[in-house]
Amino acid sequence: MNPEYGRPGARILAFVLDFIAIRVLLIVFALVVGGILGLVGLSTTVSDSTAAIAGIALYGGTAWLYFAIGESSASGMTWGKKMAKIRVQRSDGARLTFIQASIRFWCKLLSIGLLGIGLLIALKSPMKQTLHDRIAGTVVVTVQ
């Protein structure tokens, strides 16, 4: 039986929900760290450039781990994908490894960075694969 490949609308919904989830995780993390630093009396003032670099690194690292762990899990789903009823799997139907999920995540930046063309190619692909899906050897399928 051939799988039903994830539709663009479901993929966009999952991405938006995952973006919200990552933001919530970062807010909770910032509140906890800020509270701990306040309790021990450490100053939290840093230069704007240091804060910007730390913020980018923290956001990127959190997003990478969130997607790589979720997509390589037994379900193959992040929270957003679970809500959108889609999952990521290898093209042969097997579960992704953490390394494959990591490759898929970092290549997603390439898909987006190419003016979104890497995402748009899914519209003409028989298996609805984006550039990062093709590079990582993955597909997004609908789950019941």
d(CA 114, CA 105): 15
Range of lowest pLDDT (57-66, 99-108, 126-135): 57-66
As a whole number, mean pLDDT of residues 9-25 equals 95
pTM (two decimals): 0.85
Question: What average pLDDT does the segment 73-89 reach?
Answer: 97
Q: What is the average per-residue pLDDT within 113-129?
A: 93
Task: Please give the Cα distance from 31 to 44 (Å, whole number).
Answer: 12
The whole-angstrom separation of Cα 129 and Cα 113 is 17
Question: Residue 78's pLDDT band (boundaries 50, 70, 90)?
Answer: very high
Beta-carbon contacts of residue 106 (< 8 Å; ≥ 6 apart): 64
Percent of the chain, pLDDT > 90?
A: 69
Please give the average per-residue pLDDT across 109-123, as a whole number. 93
For the stretch 31-49, pLDDT in tens is 887 777 666 666 556 666 7
Which three-class secondary structure state does DSSP give residue 87? strand
The per-residue pLDDT for range 97-108, each reduced to its tens digit, is: 999 999 999 999
Exposure class string for 111-137: b at 16+ Cβ within 10 A, else e:
beeeeeebbebbeeeebbbbbbbbbbe
* Distance, CA of 126 to CA of 30 (rounded, Å): 43
Q: State the average pLDDT over residues 112-140.
A: 94
Q: Take residue 50 and report the two structure tokens written for it.
A: 């240091």
Higher pLDDT, 47 or 111: 111
Structure confidence at residue 117 as a pLDDT band (50, 70, 90): very high
How many CA atoms, within 13 angstroms, populate the side-chain half-sphere of residue 83? 14
Interatomic CA distance for residues 41 and 35, integer angstroms: 10
